[in-house]
Structure 1
Amino acid sequence: MDFYSQISLNNDDNNHQNQRQLQQQHFSDNLIPPSEWPVKLVNANVWPNFLWRKHPIPNNNQCLPIQSSFPEMVDLLPVQLIFSFLYLIIWLAAILGNVSVLYVVSLKQVQLSSVRSVFICSLAASDILMSMTSLPITAVSIFTRDWVFPTFFWGAVFVSSFTLTAIAVDRYILIKHPTKQKIKFRTALSIVASLWMLGYACAMPVGIFSSTVEYSPFCGQFCEENWPDTDTQSGRSRLRKFYGI
């Protein structure tokens, strides 16, 4: 390698190093120091390296769409169209399927007093409720990435899970002890009523400790959980951890 080639390589290395230093300096200048970090994050599970950057405050009291500050693939129109089509199919299948189950079991079945009918109707009703609340909320929240609904749409998921557990217990008793006395019809009704109350009781803490907050300069409101023992420094809560378990 001649003398001039060596000088050219050294200059290129110096230029790359200077450019890297400028990028690091620009990144550090745009970071908010830990002392100014908010307790809650906006869309905290997306692009964590960009969460704490300073955003320019718009003029004339205008807000910034969160999509412009935290872009995702779901913001693209083709992705939204495909997602909406698939979600619509799932939603229609859930509604029509469970309504058909309720119709067949409650109106067409001869033995209306069977334990199986009670559990199946409870499961179908909870699935319909979840389809009418959870599915649309999830789809809209994914697209808008903010909260536009009330905070009480929580219990249907718990009811559906508990009903599946009751069906599993009933099937276990029938298979493991076929000669043992089965669950009576009134007992099944009491179990289903208890499952619905238990499901909404388990979901109630989330509704109580959830509220909508605003983060300037971003547009919209965001649904956040704020438990009583939340640490102001880390944002963690022992009650929330215990509740999740």
Structure 2
Amino acid sequence: MEPNGSSPRPGNTSHPKDLFAGLELLLHFKPLFIPLYCLLVAVACLGNAFLVGCIAANKKLHNATNFFLGNLSLGDLLMCLTCVPLTASYAFEGRGWLFGRAMCHAVALLQAATVCVSVLSLAAIAVDRYVVVAYPVRRRIALHSCGLVLAAIWALALALAAPPAWHTTYVDLRPIGHDLIICEEFWRHMERQRLAYSCAMLLLSYVVPLLAVTVSYCSISAHLRRRSLPGSANLSQARWDKKKRKTFLLLVVSVLVFALCWLPLQVLNLLRDLDPDFTLLGKRYVNLAQVSCHLVAMSSACYNPFIYASLHRKCRAHLRGYVRHRQRPNGQCARANTCLSLLPDAPGLGQGDGAAGENAV
């Protein structure tokens, strides 16, 4: 299940025995990998479910930025509930894929799609931050328009993930005497197309989010400098300038963590496409390397909730309030205690400026 997933049995060799050249070595590390996968799924599901539930339950968090953050967490949650357990099982199960033909293709599609959703959501957050700062008096994007953007993100992600799912093959070897079912990605006689797709996904995973964050940050800095005349900065402007640094620190850290987590797996899959005979890595070690890189890549789903909490004191207070089932006397959490409301209202927006100022992130 590549280029964005773990395929513990290399799919480019010509003999079935070659597919398991390193399986024995991998099974020696099973007592290490299984607890790590279980811990990963538990932490990622708990953290991302909290963020999604927090945004869904609190109407004060219903704005574009928070919906994009929720979409990012939803993609991570979906990946951890479906792709991670099944691919981990496939890696260590001697009988191969045990979940049927339909799930073989579905997991290949979802695993690649959730990666694209994360990339596009991070880019959308960067664009939204720019719009908020560059046009502070403009009304925020309507919720139905935000829903259309989210639908477009998922549609584009599924389209980008279609090639590996299309080329994933379900092969049952039991009729020929092997107690084995293979769920692998085979690009028969399409090596150039496979390599082009791997390179494109590698660039998409890094160029798009990093470029979006860089351009957005530079544009925001330029707008703030133009709005801040020497000697005329007021308290609201100073608070805005301080908060925007914290918000973009959060965004930059999220992008860097995502890129670093996925880098080993993307590079390994690219090497597999360039070296189908495994002369560089060796057949004995490719399974172990693939599962190790897959574990690191999947761990990217764990970090975002902790990044938000560590960079914002009020997020930790909000989390403690949810854990202890505490609420304010009026039954609602105040806006100041929402973990995702990281920016104050734009300078110049008062209480009378309507919903755009009241609920701005």
2:80 matches 1:131: yes
Does structure 2 conserve the Cα–Cα contact (< 8 Å) formed by 1:94 and 1:128? yes
Name the structure, 1 or 2, with higher relative contact order (CA <8 Å, separation 6+). Answer: 2
Which residue of structure 2 aligns with residue 73 of structure 1? 25
Structure 2 vs 1, CA of residues 240 and 135 (structure 1 numbering), >3 Å: closer, same or farther? same
Which residue of structure 1 aligns with residue 155 of structure 2? 197
Does structure 1 conserve the Cα–Cα contact (< 8 Å) formed by 2:55 and 2:66? yes
Does structure 1 conserve the Cα–Cα contact (< 8 Å) formed by 2:171 and 2:182? yes
Helix, strand or coil at the partner of 1:152: helix
CA distance in 1, matches of 2:136, 2:184: 51
CA distance in 1, matches of 2:76, 2:162: 19
2:181 matches 1:224: no
Moved more, 202-211 or 212-221: 212-221
More helix, by proportion: 2
Does structure 2 conserve the Cα–Cα contact (< 8 Å) formed by 1:115 and 1:183? yes
Using the aligned pairs only, state the percent identity: 26
TM-score w.r.t. length of structure 2: 0.43
Give the CA deviation at 1:193: 0.8
Query: Which of 193, 197, 215 does residue 239 from structure 1 map onto?
Result: 193
CA distance in 2, matches of 1:104, 1:201: 30
CA distance in 2, matches of 1:224, 1:199: 21
- How big is each residue's C-alpha offset from its partner over 1:146-183, in whole Å with a ceiling of 9 and x where there is no partner? 333321122333223222221222224435x2537344
Give the CA deviation at 1:53: 8.2
Does structure 1 conserve the Cα–Cα contact (< 8 Å) formed by 2:56 and 2:62? no
Does structure 2 conserve the Cα–Cα contact (< 8 Å) formed by 1:106 and 1:117? no
Does structure 1 conserve the Cα–Cα contact (< 8 Å) formed by 2:114 and 2:157? yes
Matches within 5 A, 1:34-73: 43-44=9-10, 70-73=22-25
2:165 matches 1:185: no
Which residue of structure 1 aligns with residue 249 of structure 2? none
Structure 2 vs 1, CA of residues 70 and 201 (structure 1 numbering), >3 Å: closer, same or farther? same
Runs of at least 5 residues in structure 2 that lack an aligned partner in the other structure? 1-7, 201-361
Which residue of structure 1 aligns with residue 47 of structure 2? 97
CA distance in 2, matches of 1:189, 1:73: 47
Which residue of structure 1 aligns with residue 341 of structure 2? none
Helix, strand or coil at the partner of 2:9: coil
CA distance in 2, matches of 1:142, 1:241: 24
Does structure 2 conserve the Cα–Cα contact (< 8 Å) formed by 1:102 and 1:121? yes
